[in-house]
Amino acid sequence: MKGIVVIVLANILLVMGASARDDVGSYSIDEALSLEQSKEVLGTEVRFYFGDQSHGKVTKRYGEYTSNKKTNAFNKSDKEACQWVFLSAMKALKDRALREGGNAVINIKSNYKRRTSSSSDTFDCGAGAVMAGVTMVGTVVTIN
């Protein structure tokens, strides 16, 4: 009896693994940043510049930093999960900027699974049945 249970469980796990998905999609930066929770979490202390967006004169550079975040995607749409995890990644960049003494993060780009995408309009997010993930890379600076 134990042997049959083990075989059945192994087959279930095999089927679940085969059907697991990891869809990579592009989502609107402006839409994610316009959410009320984004405004509350990110505030105005640090400014964010995506891709090649123009910004003020850089007076000091603190370095390039990566924020790799995951979130529970269970019972959420891919868009909802990706916007949430994007906010988490941006909060980590904000916290890093404040820790380093900067007031902006420039040249922000997506780097999901080492696939870099630089855009001022969209970010990349991987979403599956259980998890969603975003990796953002940006340079912490002080600007005028």
Q: Where are the domains of the chain?
A: 21-143
**Average pLDDT over every residue of 129-143:** 96
- 131-143/58-72 β-pairing: antiparallel
Q: Is the pLDDT of residue 11 over 50?
A: no
Q: Is 55 exposed, middle or buried (0-12, 13-18, 19+ CB in 10 A)?
A: middle
CA 87 from centroid of its chain's CA atoms = 7
pLDDT value at residue 10: 44
Q: What is the dihedral of CA 40, 42, 45, 46, to 10 degrees?
A: -160
CATH architecture of 21-143: 2-Layer Sandwich (3.30)
